[in-house]
């Protein structure tokens, strides 16, 4: 069940290259776009998890001792790192795809 447009709905992101034949064929823009969309959706899930932790820590303060607080704080730090990493990954993949595209265009101009 998808919660919103950013929710991957438990679907596995597609592989960019699924076989050796794909390497020889033209770059699949739709598949690439879908993969980036899944990456950003997963980042949104992580942000949602942080919001849940915030609700737990603020809504149930009487139940939270130092140990639980420390665990929640550690989880928040890890979720921050993962969300930042997902964003970085998306940006690097897009940058790399653009680099490859520019190199291919340069090679085509050289041949022409």
Give residue-wise pLDDT tens across range 74-92.
999 999 999 898 889 888 9
Contact of 11 with 31, CB cutoff 8 Å: no
Please compute Rg for the chain using Cα positions. 20
Identify the pLDDT of residue 79: 92
Domain edges within the chain: 27-111
Identify the pLDDT of residue 70: 92
**Cβ atoms within 10 A of the Cβ of 67, count?**
8
The structure tokens listed for 24 are 């020889």
Give residue-wise pLDDT tens across range 20-76.
554 445 667 778 888 888 888 888 889 899 999 999 888 888 888 899 999 999 999
Least confident of 11-20, 51-60, 85-94, 103-112: 11-20
Identify the pLDDT of residue 1: 42
Higher-scoring residue by pLDDT: 8, 95: 95
User: What are the residues whose beta carbons fall under 8 Å from the beta carbon of 39, sequence distance 6 or more?
Assistant: 13, 86, 89, 90, 93
Tell me which DSSP letter residue 28 carries: -
**Over 60: is that where the pLDDT of 106 sits?**
yes
Question: What secondary structure, in 3-state letters, does 36-103 show?
Answer: HHHHHHHHHHHHHHHHHHHHHHHHCHHHCCHHHHHHHHHHHHHHHHHHHHHHHHHHHHHHHHHHHHHH
């Amino acid at each position: 069940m998808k919660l919103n447009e950013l929710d991957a709905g438990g679907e596995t992101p597609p592989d960019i290259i699924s076989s050796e034949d794909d390497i020889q064929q033209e770059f699949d823009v739709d598949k690439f776009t879908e993969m980036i969309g899944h990456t950003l959706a997963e980042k949104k899930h992580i942000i949602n998890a942080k919001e849940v932790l915030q609700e737990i820590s603020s809504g149930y303060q009487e139940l939270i001792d130092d140990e639980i607080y420390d665990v929640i704080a550690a989880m928040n730090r890890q979720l921050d790192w993962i969300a930042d990493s997902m964003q970085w990954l998306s940006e690097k993949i897009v940058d790399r795809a653009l680099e490859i595209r520019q190199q291919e265009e340069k090679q085509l101009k050289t041949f022409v």
